[in-house]
Structure 1
């Protein structure tokens, strides 16, 4: 890790030296440059969006701005997504990746949740949790948008907007320290090279302990970007993403209905296993060209290489788990993992406006291609079953890797010698073409029609088979989308939309059969209000939405004896439906008061029964989807004011997550929780700010997500942090 870090840091130093002469210069703004006749940068346009005002879109999009991220002190994607009540945390694979559901539905359970970066598919892979150091904003694009996105998540899509050069000299340096030996530094610097090249470098380094005993993480990331103005109408942007993370594999705590949860402080892995090492190297190249005031082209390439390697001792499941017998001792198994992925994406999109008679058309036409290569290699050591009622003291401690949940002693046993478990390679290749036309029928009424055609191919190679076998499947499908928006006045609109989605699924069942594609149908309707149209003292949008999402061919983990003997597999659990209501508000008042609220009621359950899924348990129609709370509420408020001409901000935040299923096919529910936080900052000198944060103010014991009753992630106790930032 340190060698790669040295190489990247050296490149950063060279880049900084090259830009040093320019940092002392003063540069014109775009408006000033236009007035003086210099080159004007083309307007940056978001992918797949077109140029529409919020009241004109038939979707309930949500924007988590840089200011909101800072108020929440969010530096990880999961923390940012906690602000949206439509997004719920899912099993995060022992802390090694981001996993979430939107409107009750998650994506592939064996991969990180899919997300976009500047419109590029980039979420799959094994680079560890996504840090926000190089991120300017997070968009939650909810609802039936699949006619455009195609391979997004079933309930919606998350898009990360990266920090790019703004053709100015500015930046900040920040340092944080906090409870449990948390230390972190961030940097964001930008300048220009001449009149037509902008350079920006964001990055972070984090060395952190944890409330979990012996759990320590080390993370490093750097995200440079360069934008070149190739003319008055053309801009070319290149971005690099490089992150290394050393993270202990932490499956969390164990729950038993008689003994309750094991202590949240106890790490049940082995520090001697070492951390899991993850690495990601990504590139994006994007070209934007304006043909005229009405027509523009957005085209680009993306490449992302990720890896995940390391050992882990993990909590055993029922039938091998001693905690269910004595409420004191946790048994474990051992795995070695070596995962790799390569992800290539190419896309181009043409957007424009034209008239046919009295109708105004807002057209988006595009195509994309992606190729995802996924390699999984796993070795495993696992103890045998034992009968219920067994006296734990009669079991061989080394054979079951036993550890005391209340007084753990690590390093008691030598590292087990694991045997073969999974060895497979997979290539998913897809090509899509999409078109959308939003037609202005009148000044108040618009309709949206569109569709997407996808063609997929999947090659799955089982390297454990003798002889080695490769299965190839192909699929194609057209996914339509329609919507309508009616603006009652300048500040209020009604909308409705319908869309279908289609997504190829990775892996196969233990018999080698590949899975049918995931099919989604979504419908929503709602109202939006721009309060600035009615009140001079407030800016912001309020949205109320009702939705329904139907999904087929949902995968769950298959841990039946036959499947686990063959390796690491999933199984199709049938169909599910999600219905709900959402209310979102993001308001800024002239008084300096800021108010953000996101509430969601989500009723997500299976529509069919599956007798053989998930540990041989019966999933029945009406069973809820895992980690999907009925009620979720996020509130963040802040007040800006001056004390003796010194800028001050104080604020608070609250997150409520309702009760939710914690183990598919079983009657295990995670309890609801409500946590509060406070923050305040003072600009003690020009550009120099001191800030303090307290999270989980009342020391609530809570659990954020689970995969099963033996893999439950506990939330942190009361945590305090102090930060200092210098901005210029």
Structure 2
């Protein structure tokens, strides 16, 4: 399949190049220039167009723009952006020449930031960092959603999970122990490979801090072409706030229900004409609606931006998060059913702890060779440590009795990532090419310890320790002895993973209406030999080394009948490494997951409203399942790649601002992921929704800030989040004697916000889950975590 797609992509590119070279050179001209703010900084993403024509564009991050293929003549050039006063200039275009027109806005860069907070810009026109190249989503044959700083601020989000509730097609599937949010996109679990920070892979252990987020970008569907080693559902990029060459900052204090206190400080400004800084710090101490559960967090995020020249700059960023919180596996299950005996009841051992430390460092080099060619290089490092002790599994019988077996974990993870990307624009005849070349590598070294609780009479390690049975219906049994048993390390296992890749992508603009995006990636992944050190004997046991490699092609066709409408179809795939061996004792090849997508993207009312609709179908027709031997029996050792899952769905995204101060976004998604072909007798039951995936999700957020009169500065808003039916427990085999699925009902939470801004002060308050809805997120049948009840949250801030 990969070879066929490769040949197809090559043929398309060659044909288009030949066709382009055969066409006559354009006798038209072009218009280029720059737009700056009143304090001399670049004004990014400002619209520029020729009046009474369809020719429009936007400035890039540097405030530069170019309008190509303009017929000779005199035109009126107009700039426009939300909250920015329009400007016009006359410009004369000469055949074969480029005319220049620069603008200076009346607003300063800080005022533009205020406008960004108080008015949505159409997301279809703003390139996302995840794309690795400045291509607007309108020109991408893939669904893209960006949750900007305004939503993050208005909703007073505290975690990545709070942000993701606004992303259609991505749903929280489980919150295991309240220490690990597990998101599903288009039916596929998003592990650490699919989460990025400023374009580099990152962990979400310890729950990423939201106070530093400028935006969260979600590239839905397969992103294997650009990143490799990711699942087919989506990739998520957390974009942090950057330094500025103007002095400013903000201090705030957030307080909420259950003794939550969170002060934050954000400072930025120039150190010199070429060097700027930013420093963000926050401290949080909070209780919980759950008995005995608390958290304590410290976060700092410094960054420096150095403009070496007009063409070259270096951005250095780092952050540190110390997050200590009580591991909470919720109320557990009773006879594999969920029973409401109080969502505040904490059943873990009284001394349970989970301590994490995350340190990251990243350097980004950007160099513009000229207005058409650019190089970017990224190097990042992350260290993540976790120290955990507690009881995981509350699986009570019908009488409510459950053992509380202890679990101890100590792990260290070091991750390194390197990227070099080159992108450029050139023409072959009248055909425009926007190309991207890239190479990347990342390495991961994870060390984890196994523990024991002593030795038995025969000298063997005791690896199971029951802290004492608990009766979930009798709160007096929860505390137990209160004594924390000693656990000691027995082995320390190092598991290295190395991944390398190279790719090429070309957006081919055949005409202004018809475009083709074609690309190909090669990825090589090495799961190096693990090394398990016995800490008592000093003997090291080594595991096998496994190599996986695959080509990941992508082909998309884009048709834009109007400047405000884009329709597309696309094909892409990604690979998923498998464990185990086949009947010939050979390591299993990776599974290739094929995805087709079709969609339409629209901007209405001059970009004040955007509405995008997407349909997708994802098929993995070679998942690993137990092998059928020659005698017809099912192997308990060997596997074969002939199972199949299918995931299809629909997504709708709508957002915009139809009046000044009135901002909204809403969306809906449907997904059905299930097994569609499995082995007879022992295979999984087909056409049953996979555990963790959600049938329907919907969200709506509306905020209005009064612009005039006695109530000027008053802000009112509301948000509603709908989570549809889903399954907990486990998907069952055809020969299962007892079905273990736990059906979960749908629920809706509604939040209401009100605030007021006066000069540099602002106060914003929120009541969440107004109706006090009760529901659960379930991991298997033991981490049954209730959603939060009605709560209050208030943020007081001062900008300077």
Q: 1:691 aligns with which of 731, 747, 764?
A: 764
1:88 Cα shift? 1.1
Structure 1 unmatched runs, 5+: 1-25, 33-39, 383-396, 557-569
Q: Flag the 1:548–1:259 CA change in 2: closer, same or farther, 3 A.
A: closer
Q: 1:295 aligns with which of 368, 373, 383?
A: 373
Moved more, 481-490 or 83-92: 83-92
Aligned residue in 2 for 1:270: 349
1:508 Cα shift? 11
**d(CA) in 1 for partners of 2:206, 2:742:** 28
Aligned residue in 1 for 2:85: none
1:50 Cα shift? 2.1
Aligned residue in 2 for 1:29: 40
1:646 Cα shift? 3.3
Aligned residue in 1 for 2:655: 586
Aligned residue in 1 for 2:597: 524
CA offsets per residue over residues 322-373 of structure 1, 9 Å max, x none?
x32313x443110110011000000000000001112110000000010011
Q: 1:431 aligns with which of 493, 500, 511?
A: 500
1:422 Cα shift? 7.3
**d(CA) in 2 for partners of 1:164, 1:578:** 38
Structure 2 residue 509 is matched with structure 1 residue 440: yes
Structure 2 residue 339 is matched with structure 1 residue 260: yes
1:191 Cα shift? 0.6
CA offsets per residue over residues 306-337 of structure 1, 9 Å max, x none?
10002111224xxxx4x32313x443110110
Aligned length: 646
**d(CA) in 2 for partners of 1:300, 1:194:** 24
Q: 2:244 aligns with which of 166, 184, 194?
A: 166
Moved more, 148-157 or 572-581: 572-581
Aligned residue in 2 for 1:647: 713
| SS at structure 2 position matched to 1:68 | helix
Aligned residue in 1 for 2:387: 309
Aligned residue in 2 for 1:659: 725
Structure 2 residue 525 is matched with structure 1 residue 456: yes
Q: 1:637 aligns with which of 676, 681, 702?
A: 702
**d(CA) in 1 for partners of 2:608, 2:329:** 44
Q: 1:324 aligns with which of 388, 394, 397?
A: 397
1:574 Cα shift? 4.9
Is the contact between residue 130 and residue 237 of structure 2 (CA under 8 Å) also seen in structure 1? Answer: no
Q: How does 1:356-505 map to 2 (within 5 A)?
A: 356-379=428-451, 400-408=468-476, 409-412=478-481, 414-416=483-485, 423-461=492-530, 463=532, 468-504=541-577
**d(CA) in 2 for partners of 1:450, 1:63:** 23
Aligned residue in 1 for 2:753: 679
Q: Flag the 1:399–1:428 CA change in 2: closer, same or farther, 3 A.
A: closer
Aligned residue in 2 for 1:341: 413
Q: 1:625 aligns with which of 678, 685, 690?
A: 690
Is the contact between residue 154 and residue 501 of structure 1 (CA under 8 Å) also seen in structure 2? Answer: yes
Structure 2 residue 615 is matched with structure 1 residue 546: yes
| SS at structure 1 position matched to 2:232 | coil
**TM-score under structure 1 length normalisation:** 0.83
**d(CA) in 2 for partners of 1:47, 1:247:** 31
Aligned residue in 2 for 1:89: 172
1:105 Cα shift? 0.6
1:51 Cα shift? 2.1
1:653 Cα shift? 0.5
Aligned residue in 1 for 2:280: 202
1:555 Cα shift? 8.9
**d(CA) in 2 for partners of 1:265, 1:595:** 34
Structure 2 residue 147 is matched with structure 1 residue 64: yes
1:532 Cα shift? 2.9
Q: 1:713 aligns with which of 785, 792, 795?
A: 785
Structure 2 unmatched runs, 5+: 1-36, 44-60, 65-126, 455-464, 626-638, 732-739
**d(CA) in 1 for partners of 2:434, 2:387:** 47
Q: Flag the 1:611–1:241 CA change in 2: closer, same or farther, 3 A.
A: farther
Q: 1:48 aligns with which of 131, 143, 147?
A: 131
1:405 Cα shift? 4.2
Aligned residue in 2 for 1:19: none
Is the contact between residue 552 and residue 572 of structure 2 (CA under 8 Å) also seen in structure 1? Answer: yes
Q: Flag the 1:574–1:524 CA change in 2: closer, same or farther, 3 A.
A: same
| SS at structure 1 position matched to 2:163 | helix
Is the contact between residue 605 and residue 623 of structure 1 (CA under 8 Å) also seen in structure 2? Answer: yes
CA offsets per residue over residues 557-593 of structure 1, 9 Å max, x none?
xxxxxxxxxxxxx999954221001000111122422
CA offsets per residue over residues 234-274 of structure 1, 9 Å max, x none?
0000000110000111111223367724431111112323x
Moved more, 710-719 or 44-53: 44-53
**d(CA) in 1 for partners of 2:438, 2:186:** 27
**d(CA) in 2 for partners of 1:611, 1:416:** 47
**d(CA) in 2 for partners of 1:572, 1:423:** 33
| SS at structure 1 position matched to 2:447 | strand
Moved more, 455-464 or 199-208: 455-464
1:634 Cα shift? 0.9
1:457 Cα shift? 0.9
Is the contact between residue 257 and residue 791 of structure 2 (CA under 8 Å) also seen in structure 1? Answer: yes
1:47 Cα shift? 4.7
Q: Flag the 1:51–1:603 CA change in 2: closer, same or farther, 3 A.
A: same
Aligned residue in 1 for 2:104: none
Aligned residue in 1 for 2:108: none
Structure 2 residue 198 is matched with structure 1 residue 118: yes
Is the contact between residue 115 and residue 152 of structure 1 (CA under 8 Å) also seen in structure 2? Answer: no
